[in-house]
Amino acid sequence: MTELTKKSLTEITKLIKKKEIKSEELTESFIKNIEKDKRLNSFITKCSESALVKAKNFDKKPEFKNLLPGIPIAVKDLFCTSGVKTTAGSKMLENFIPNYESTITNNLWKEGAFLLGKLNCDEYAMGSSNETSYFGNVMNPIAENTVPGGSSGGSASALAADLTPVTIGTDTGGSIRQPASFTGTVGLKPTYGLCSRWGIVAFASSLDQAGPMTKSVEDCALMLEVMAGFDEKDSTSISKKKENYSKNLSDKVKGLKIGIPKEYRVEGMPKEIDKLWENGKKLLQESGAEIIDISLPNTKYALPTYYIVAPAEASSNLARYDGVKYGFRSNRGNNLLEMYENTRSEGFGDEVKRRILIGTYVLSSGYYDAYYLKAQKVRYLIKNDFDQAFKKVDALLTPSTPSSAFKIGEKKDDPISMYLNDIFTVPVNLAGIPAISIPAGTDSNNYPLGLQLIGKPLDEQKILNIAYAAEKKINFKLTLKKWWEK
Amino acid sequence: MSIDKDKIKHISQLARISLDSKKTDALAKDLSSIFKFIEQLNEINTDKTEPLSSILNEPLRSREDVVNDGKIREKILKNSPQKNEEFFIVPKVIE
C-alpha cells in the first residue's frame, strides 16, 4: 500500500468513509512528516496537538456525510484563523492572534476538516520565490536550495512533500499557479468573487483570490466546491448557485475549442517549455478538442499594468499597520509621527516597502493620471482581449511559467527579473477570470513544468474538465528523494 | 523616469516609512528601473479608453447599517501593543 500521506484527498476521503482508516492515524502520519520540516521551512505555526484532539473527536463521533470528513489541512498563513497566530509572513504580524475565522477556512471546517498548521509565504504575499518571508525562505522539495515559487511557497512545498493532503493559497498575480508549477502540483485561481476574501490579509483587493492547491485535478474540484460560495461579508462576492464541480468532473473534451495565444511565446523561453506546450496541444487534439490560434495583443502590457495597480492597492491596504491597534510597534520615536514611521520601517521588509512606495507614488497628487489612471485604462484593454478571444474559443492553453524553479538568491537582487516570472499568470488576475496550472512534464534537471488552462468568468467546470483530460493523458509522476529528512 | 533621492524621501514621508540614507539610495535605484519598465505603457494610445476600476459586472452591494457583532472590546484590545483598560495608548500628542 502506498504511504497514507502520498495519497490524494479523494483516496483518503474514501478510506475514511469506508472506515478503513481513522482520522487520528491519518493526522499522526502527517504530523510525523511535519516534524521533519525544518529544512523545507514550510510551516510558520504547527498545530499538531490541537489537530490530534480534533482527529480523536472526529473518530469518536464521525460524520461521514461531509465533504472533508476528519481531514487535517494546513493553510497559507494569510488566512485569519481564530485563536491561532496569523503572520502573513511579516514581522509586523509576528504575534497577531485573530479573534475571528476567515470565511474560506470556516468553509473547510464546516465540511469536517481541521487545522494542521499555518504555512510560510512571501511577506504579505508579495513575492514569487518565498524569499521575502520574515520567517525565512522555503525550499522546494524537488531539490535543495531551490525556491518553491511564491507567494504560496510554503503551501506548495508542504503539499509536494506530503506534509498536508491538500492546501489553500491566494493568487494576486500568480501566487497559486506559479508555485504549483514549480513543485509539480495542481493549483487553481478562481474567478474574482467566487471565493470570499473576508478574513484574508489583504494585498491588492481587486486582484486577490483564494484557491485550492492539490495533488490531482479531482481533489482540486472537490476543494473548490467546498471553498466557493456567496458571502455577505465580502462586498465583491458573487451571488450564484453552488456548483458540484467534483460530481460533474468529466474528461470529455470532444468538440471544445482551445485557443493558443501567440503572444505567450516569449523571447528567450526555454525550448523545453515550448515542447511542453506543443505536447499539450497534441494531446488535447487527440482527445477531440480543436486547437485554434488566437491573439491577445496587449499581453506585453499586463506586467507593467500589474506593477501599478497592485502596489497602489497595497499601499492603501497596508496603511492600516500603524502600530496602534494590533501588530508590531517600534519603541523608538519621540512623538506619534516618529512612532508610525519607525514602526513601518522596522515592521515591513524590503519588498513590501518597495511596493508601498511605488503605490504611494502612482497615487500621489500630480502622478495619478499618468500612472494609475493609465493602468486602469490598459487593464480594460487586457480584459477586452480575453473577452474577444472567448467569442471564438472555450478556453486557452499556455505554459504556466517562463522557467522551472530557480535557485535561492538567483533573482533576489533584480526586482524586474523576479517580476517577469509572473508574465503568464498576471493577465488572468487583471481580467478576473479563472485559470488552473497542472504539472505537465519536467525539464533537463528533472524539475517540474506546468501548463495553464484559462477559462471564461465562472467557467471553472470547463477548465477543470480539460485539465482532467490532460492530466490522464500526461500521467505526471515525480519521485522525490526526501533530502530534507536527512 | 528616474527617481532621485529627494523623490524617495518625499514618498517615504507620505507613506510614513522612515528610511536611512543607504536604503534611500538602494530604493532610488530599484524604483528607477521599475518605473522605466512600467513606462512601457506610454506606447499605447488610451485617449478613447474607459478606465476599468472593477471587473465585476454588477455594482457593489451595500447592506443595512445595523450592528451585527459588538461587545468585543476585550478581544479587540487584546492584540494592541499598548493599552490602558479600555483605550489604545499612543505617544503623547498634546503638550
CB nearest to B60's CB, from A236, A339, A348: A236
Chain B residues whose CB is inside 8 A of the A345 CB are 17-19
Interface of A with B in 7-36 (CB under 8 A): none
Please give chain A's pLDDT, 486 residues, in tens. Answer: 469 999 999 999 999 999 999 999 999 999 999 999 999 999 999 999 999 999 999 999 999 999 999 999 999 999 999 999 999 999 999 999 999 999 999 999 999 999 999 999 999 999 999 999 999 999 999 999 999 999 999 999 999 999 999 999 999 999 999 999 999 999 999 999 999 999 999 999 999 999 999 999 999 999 999 999 999 999 999 998 999 999 999 999 999 999 999 999 988 888 999 999 999 999 999 999 999 999 999 999 999 999 999 999 999 999 999 999 999 999 999 999 999 999 999 999 999 999 999 999 999 999 999 999 999 999 999 999 999 999 999 999 999 999 999 999 998 888 888 888 899 999 999 999 999 999 999 999 999 999 999 999 999 999 999 999 999 999 999 899 999 998
pLDDT of residue A132: 97
Whether A151 sits among the annotated catalytic residues: the reply is yes
Catalytic residue among A76, A411, A456, A462: A76
Long-range contacts of A52-61 (CB under 8 A, 24+ apart): A52/A24, A52/A27, A52/A28, A54/A23, A54/A27, A54/A114, A54/A115, A55/A22, A55/A23, A55/A24, A55/A26, A55/A27, A55/A28, A55/A114, A56/A23, A56/A24, A58/A23, A58/A112, A58/A114, A59/A22, A59/A23, A59/A24
Backbone angles phi, psi at A264, to 5 degrees: -85, 0
The answer to whether the CB atoms of B80 and A324 lie below 8 A apart is: yes
Closest chain A residue by Cα to residue B82: A324
Identity of the residue in A341, A378, A415 whose CB atom sits nearest the CB atom of B44: A378
Q: Look at strands A395-399 and A167-171 and give their pairing.
A: unpaired
Supply the CATH number for residue B25's domain: 1.10.20
Residue A76 annotated as catalytic: yes
B44 contact residues in A (CB cutoff 8 A)? 298, 301, 378, 381
When scoring A325, A357, A428 by the number of chain B Cβ atoms within 10 A, the one with the most, hence best to mutate, is A357
Cβ–Cβ below 8 Å for A371 and B38? yes
Q: Is residue B77 part of a domain?
A: no
pTM value surpassing 0.95: yes
- CA dist., res. A465 & res. A256, Å (int): 11
What is the domain extent for residue A443?
4-257+437-449+457-485
Q: Residue A185 domain-assigned?
A: yes
Of all residues in chain B, what percent carry a pLDDT higher than 90? 63
Q: Looking at residue A450, what DSSP letter applies? A: E
Element (H, E) at A337: helix A336-347
Owning domain of residue B15: 5-43
**Does residue B71 sit at the A interface (CB-CB below 8 Å)?**
no
CA dist., res. A313 & res. A406, Å (int): 29
**What is the per-residue pLDDT for B68?**
83
Instruction: Find residues 445-474 of chain A whose CB sits inside 8 Å of chain B.
Output: none
| Partner B contacted by A332 (CB < 8 A) | no
In the numeric block, the cell 499601499 is attached to A315
Does ipTM surpass 0.90 in this model?
yes
The reply to whether B35 falls in a domain is yes
What b/e sequence results for A130-143 when a residue is b if at least 16 CB atoms lie within 10 Å of its CB, and e otherwise? bbbbbbebbbbbbe
CA angle (A51 as vertex; A50, A55 as ends), nearest 5? 120
Using the Cβ of A191 and the Cβ atoms of chain B, whether some distance falls under 8 Å is answered with: no
Is A321 in the B-facing interface, judged by CB distances under 8 Å?
A: no
Establish if A339 belongs to a structural domain: no
Nearest Cα of chain B lies from the Cα of A266 at a distance, in angstroms, of 16
Q: Which is catalytic among the residues A175, A196, A216, A403?
A: A175
* Domains identified in chain B, total number: 1
Give domain status of residue B11, yes or no: yes
Task: Indicate whether A276 belongs to any domain.
Answer: no
Please give the tally of structural domains in chain A. 1
Q: What distance in Å separates the CA atoms of residue A287 and residue A215, rounded to the nearest whole number?
A: 23
Q: Which of A23, A42, A102, A151 is catalytic?
A: A151
- Rounded Cα distance, B55 and B32, in Å: 30
Active site residue A23: no
CA atoms of A449 and A161, how far apart (whole Å): 17
Q: Would the CB atoms of B46 and A375 count as touching at under 8 Å?
A: no
- Residue B50: partners with Cβ closer than 8 Å, 6 or more residues away: A377, A380
Would an 8 Å CB–CB cutoff place B33 in contact with chain A? yes
Nearest CA in chain A to B79: A326
On chain B, the residues whose CB falls within 8 A of the CB of A310 are none
Which of B56, B68, B80 should be substituted to probe chain A, the one whose Cβ sees the most A Cβ atoms within 10 Å?
A: B56
Question: The C-alpha cell of A160 is what?
Answer: 509536494
pLDDT at residue A413 in the model? 81
Number of H helices, E strands in chain B: 3, 2
Instruction: Confirm or reject contact between B51 and chain A (CB < 8 A).
Output: yes
B14 Cβ under 8 Å from any chain A Cβ: yes
Residue ranges, chain B, pLDDT below 70 = 1
- DSSP conformation letters of A81-115: BTTB---TT-GGGTT---SS--HHHHHHHHTT-EE
Identify the CA nearest to A351 among candidates B33, B16, B30, B37. Answer: B30
* Yes or no, beta carbons of A325 and B8 under 8 Å apart: no
B91 CA: distance to closest CA in chain A (Å): 5
Task: Tell me how close the Cα of A98 comes to any Cα of chain B, in angstroms.
Answer: 8
- Measuring CA to CA, which residue among B5, B36, B1 is closest to residue B20? B5
Q: What is the pLDDT of residue B56?
A: 85
Separation CA A148–CA A194 (nearest Å): 26
Q: A-chain residues within 8 Å CB-CB of B34?
A: 307, 354, 358, 415-416
- What is the predicted pLDDT for the residue at A329? 97
Query: Are the Cβ atoms of B55 and A431 closer than 8 angstroms?
Result: yes
Dig out the grid coordinates for B63 from the structure: 447592506
A427 within some domain: no
CATH of the domain at A139: 3.90.1300.10
Residue B10 inside a domain? The answer is yes
Element (H, E) at A51: helix A48-60
Nearest chain A residue to B50 by CA distance is: A377
Q: Backbone phi, then psi, for A72, in 5-degree steps?
A: -80, 135
B66 touches chain A (CB under 8 A): no
The answer to whether B49 contacts A381, with C-beta atoms less than 8 Å apart, is: yes
Is the CB of residue A84 less than 8 Å away from at least one CB of chain B?
no
Q: Is B88 on the interface with A (CB under 8 A)?
A: yes
- List the beta bridge partners of residue A396: A259, A454
Q: Of A470, A447, A442, which Cα lies nearest the Cα of A275?
A: A442
